[in-house]
Structure 1
Amino acid sequence: MSSHLSKTEYEIMEYFWGMGDKYTFGELMKYFNENLDKNWKKQTLNTFLSRLIEKGLLKKEKEGTKTCYQMKITKAQFKQNKARAILKESYDGKISHFIAALTGDDAITDVDEQELLSQIKAIKSDS
């Protein structure tokens, strides 16, 4: 699953995440063209929807004569996948490398340390 989205792909996903339902192509065209003044042609929306399906974020199903689009993952899942991808790609998959890069030469404050320790304890107790 790809965690990189263009601005428009993210905007489309925001609609699905906010509404949390399934929509026909016509309903999506109407919403984006009338509510957000996109002035998209059918092919434009179709291209964006196809990309989101390829990226594993949307699915489409045939319901009678209509095709419906629905989200496959929640916004929280998307953000978690994106964070994991960044951690893996840029910090060898290690949180300690990320924290070191984030703080640089600055020391971690006592508040930050306690917050991190609390998060670690919460994660450990859930597993």
Structure 2
Amino acid sequence: MFDKMRRLPDAELEVMKAIWDNTPPMSTNDVMKVISNEKNWNISTLLTLLSRLIDRGFLSSEKRGRERIYYPQVEREEYMEYETKNFIKKLHKNSFMSLVNTLYDNNDLTEQDIDELSQWLEEKKNNG
């Protein structure tokens, strides 16, 4: 899927997060209820975003009675993996250490983060 996947614009990502965070399938009205808590979008804006997500292969839809319902075709974890790999590749030249150094140098890593990372690395080392 990664060869066809592309980065989502922020507005489309907000729609996908609303669908991922709830139990699919979701109707247009269900998505609107969730989105309206955070965004002041009208229904036509949402319909445009849903249509784009279908065109990009992130959603499928079907008509059920008078409503249209939406099913995710890309799982959150799959998209997160794509975005993370793309981010590290683009900005850190595929270097995990570059990412960690940036976080450390900017004081974005707490002692707890460092301890958890150390523990995670030790577990991977022992299990791998």
TM-score range, shorter chain: 0.5 to 0.7
Distance 1:126 1:73, change over 3 A: farther
- Say if 1:125 and 1:60 are closer, same or farther in 2 by CA, change over 3 A: farther
**Cα distance in 2, alignment partners of residues 22 and 124 from structure 1:** 40
- State the aligned residue count: 120
Matched residue SS, 1:19: coil
Amino acid at match of 2:70: Y
| 64-73 or 77-86, which deviates more | 64-73
Q: Which runs of 5+ in 1 are unaligned?
A: none
Q: 1:63 to 1:126 in 2, by over 3 A?
A: farther
Q: Rate the CA distance shift 1:109–1:9 in 2: closer, same or farther, 3 A.
A: closer
Matched, 1:20 2:28: no
Considering Cα pairs closer than 8 Å and 6+ residues apart, tell me whether 1 or 2 has the greater RCO: 1
Cross-structure match for 1:91: 92
Corresponding letter in the other structure for 1:82: E
Give unmatched runs, 5+ long, in structure 2: none
Correspondence list, 1:1-127, <5 A = 1-6=5-10, 8-23=11-26, 27-29=27-29, 31-32=31-32, 36=36, 38-41=41-44, 44-60=45-61, 68-104=69-105, 111-124=112-125
Aligned-residue RMSD, C-alpha: 3.7
